[in-house]
Every structure is written in C-alpha cells, then in structure tokens.
C-alpha cells in the first residue's frame, strides 16, 4: 500500500471528510486560461499525490458541483460574469484542506473564502501554489485531518 493510499484510508476513517466521489469540479489552468470539468474526488486524489511527492500542478479548483451538467453550465458563467454560478457546493462551516508542496505545509480555510480567492487568482492569471486536497465539515475536522496526514507520513519533516 502506497503512502497516498494510507493517507486516503486514514482520512476516510477519520470522519468529517466529505464524500466527493459523486461531485464534479470546474478546474482552471492559470497559464492557458482553459476551463474543464473533472470528478472532484479524482482531482483531490491527484493533488494529494502531488503533495506527497513535493510537486506542483497548474490546475486550480474554481468550484464544486453535484452534477456534471451544473458544472458545465457554470463554466460559461465563469467566462462571462467571473462568478461560479448556481449550484455551487458550499456550507457556512465547511473548510477546504490545503497543501503547499514547496513548504511541506498543510492548513485549512473556509471553503467560501477559498472560492473567492481562487476565482480572483484565475481571473488575474496569478500562479497559485496551493493544492486543495479535501473538503471537511468544519474547522475541527480539518485540524484532525491535518494531524492524520502528518502522522501517516511521519517520514516527511513537518
């Protein structure tokens, strides 16, 4: 079992992590200004692998949606109005778990704050070095997830 598998297993058992396997993400490429739709869980898993290997990606999460159709419709809204649009998955207390591969750092912020900042980064084509790796029910769950990841991959220096 790989380090990434261990982390995913530990996080799913830790509670508080939202099941994003049936959700869809609008992803933006900062350099090309391209927008596309991916499965949200696959996106988070790929980012977790990148973090564990100390690598960056050029993709930024611009929004999460419960259906692929809603995500595709919201791409036009982002292009035209610079807004994520209706159907955006969010709740007032939800946090997004973030990873900085260069600094080997984990932290969380409110999902609503993340959505605002990532849209600004995308709109102004500012490089974004932080990888989102999961959505959690609240700050306590996010802090617990950080502890789980740190414990699971003790070999890295946090």
Range of the domain at 30: 3-152
Number of domains in the chain: 1
In the numeric block, which tokens belong to residue 65?
């949606």
pTM: 0.85
Select from 115, 29, 114, 104 the least CA-distant residue to 37. Answer: 29
Instruction: Look up residue 46 and give its two tokens.
Output: 């790929």
Answer whether residue 59 is part of any domain: yes
Taking the CA atoms of the chain, what radius of gyration do you get in angstroms? 15
88-131 per-position pLDDT tens digit: 899 999 999 999 999 989 999 999 999 999 988 888 888 888 99
The closest of 130, 108, 112 to 121, measured between CA atoms, is 130
> What CA dihedral angle connects 43, 146, 116 and 47, to 10 degrees?
-20
Q: Is there a domain that residue 158 lies in?
A: no
């Amino acid at each position: 079992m790989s380090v990434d598998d261990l982390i995913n297993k530990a996080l799913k058992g830790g509670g508080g992590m939202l099941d994003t396997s049936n959700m869809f993400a609008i992803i933006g490429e900062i350099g090309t200004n391209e927008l596309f739709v991916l499965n949200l869980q696959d996106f988070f898993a790929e980012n977790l692998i990148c973090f564990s290997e100390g690598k960056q990606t050029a993709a930024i999460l611009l929004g999460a949606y419960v259906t692929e159709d809603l995500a595709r419709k919201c791409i036009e809204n982002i292009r035209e109005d610079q807004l994520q649009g209706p159907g955006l998955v969010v709740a007032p207390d939800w946090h997004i778990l973030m990873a900085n591969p260069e600094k080997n750092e984990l932290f969380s912020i409110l999902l609503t704050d993340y959505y605002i900042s990532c849209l600004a980064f995308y709109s102004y084509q500012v490089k974004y070095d932080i990888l989102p790796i999961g959505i959690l029910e609240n700050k306590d769950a996010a802090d617990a997830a950080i502890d789980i990841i740190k414990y699971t991959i003790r070999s890295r220096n946090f």
